[in-house]
Copies of this chain bind each other. A is one copy, B any other.
Amino acid sequence: MSADILIANISKHISLSAEEKEFFISLLQPRSLKAGEFLLREGDICRYETFVTKGCLITYYLDKNGLEHIIDFSIEEWWADDLYSFFTQTSSRAYIKAIENADILQISKNNLEILFQKIPKFERFFRLLFQNAYIAQREQINSTLSDSAEERYISFIKKKPYAEKRFSQKDIASYLA
């Protein structure tokens, strides 16, 4: 069952009883996406946090000239969402799209609040997740501002060694652009 991957991921940080796992799973909505299908488009409000259990999603922006700038590849055990839109419940500037057939698990903002009320130890897991999101956001800014294209490529391949096999050259170029 696909929630096992998410439970295993969470259990690295907090320990959950069988009942707590069950309650958490009851708040999740599983969904499948075909390659090419959109999870979010510019102007939408990001209403879910999305965990990828299979496949790959990309998050990208369109610039003034309509060019894609990929800011994230989310494969198995990663999250795919526009956290800014999710936190503020305002329109997203991002697109999120499956580039492989994908299975995802989603938790709505409302269910996340229910989860925090019912099982407060999830606060820790999401506190850590948001710390990491803060770090990733900063690294992205720093890298765009100060690294050369070559440095960014090397750092990208180091972080995602599977990238050259799994992503198209076009998508990698769009990430580094």
Q: Which A residues contact B (CB, under 8 angstroms)?
A: 83-84, 87-88, 93, 116, 120-121, 123-124, 126-127, 130-131, 133-135, 137-138, 141-142
Contacts and interface: CB of A to CB of B under 8 A. Distances in A.
Contacts of A141: 137, 141
14 contacts: A84-B135, A84-B138, A87-B131, A93-B142, A116-B124, A120-B123, A120-B124, A126-B127, A127-B127, A133-B134, A134-B134, A134-B137, A137-B137, A137-B138
Contact of A127 (B84, B123, B138): B123
Given A84-B135, A123-B127, 16 more contacts: A83-B134, A84-B134, A84-B138, A87-B131, A87-B135, A88-B135, A93-B142, A120-B121, A123-B123, A123-B124, A126-B127, A130-B134, A134-B137, A137-B137, A137-B138, A137-B141
A133 B138 CA distance: 11
A116 B93 CA distance: 35
A134 B161 CA distance: 27
Contacts of A87: 131, 134-135
Contacts of A135: 84, 87-88
Contacts of A124: 116, 120, 123
